Chain A
Amino acid sequence: EDQVTQSPEALRLQEGESSSLNCSYTVSGLRGLFWYRQDPGKGPEFLFTLYSAGEEKEKERLKATLTKKESFLHITAPKPEDSATYLCAVQDSNYQLIWGAGTKLIIKP
């Protein structure tokens, strides 16, 4: 069965303390892996798409990487405004998105 698991469930960091979020997946016929950010009371906001192992994407303090079994979202020198829930989703061979439960990131000033 297709599955997406994100870890940790929650992560508290001090401002400037770099870390990584993990998204591991089992899916038949991966078409793409998506990272989204969700703020409280809002819908998910698209961050990155990764299509093949070895691919990397960057945006400001965020960098996403992809292997055949997992993806990492690296956060470098985070700021309080980076606090949010980060969601990972994989697209299967039928173009359906399977979502992880998210990692709630809290950056303390």
Chain B
Amino acid sequence: DTAVSQTPKYLVTQMGNDKSIKCEQNLGHDTMYWYKQDSKKFLKIMFSYNNKELIINETVPNRFSPKSPDKAHLNLHINSLELGDSAVYFCASSQTGLQPQHFGDGTRLSIL
């Protein structure tokens, strides 16, 4: 059973489009996260979401918005995609903020 699953695995689209990435976790965790991993492999936190409390990294453009229909899902919606948005996006979850995070396999986003 996949613990944290993301779809799609690959996403190729044109500049200016709007796209969404879905994330689901079946671990019963309370906290979910979105990360961006750039070409230099640095993982940068974008959002964390816990019991309807959203913590936003201030460097994230407001074109990015997380949406959580329930505790097991945290989707990422991106408006007006730009070339610089090309990266691998990872979803993760943890039981609490202190516990290790479990990651999905990532969504590779390529902007043409």
Contacts of B109 in A (CB 8 A): none
- Asked if A72 lies at the interface with its beta carbon under 8 angstroms from chain B, I say no
For window 23-52 of B, CB contacts with A under 8 Å fall at: 40-45, 48
- The interface residues of chain B lying within 8 Å CB-to-CB of A96 are 45, 48
Residues of A within 8 A of B42 (CB): 99, 101
Interface residues on A, range: 20 to 34
> In this complex, what residue of B is CB-closest to A39?
B105
Q: Does A73 contact B (CB under 8 A)?
A: no
Q: Lowest 7 CB-CB distances: which A-B pairs, in order?
A: A43-B103, A95-B97, A99-B43, A46-B100, A44-B103, A43-B105, A102-B41
A87 contacts across to B, CB distance below 8 A: 43
- Chain A residues with CB under 8 Å of chain B are 31-32, 34, 41-46, 49, 85, 87, 89, 91, 95-97, 99, 101-102
Q: Give 12 A-B pairs besides A44-B90, A99-B42 with Cβ atoms closer than 8 angstroms.
A: A43-B104, A43-B105, A44-B101, A44-B103, A45-B103, A46-B100, A46-B102, A85-B41, A91-B97, A91-B98, A96-B45, A101-B42
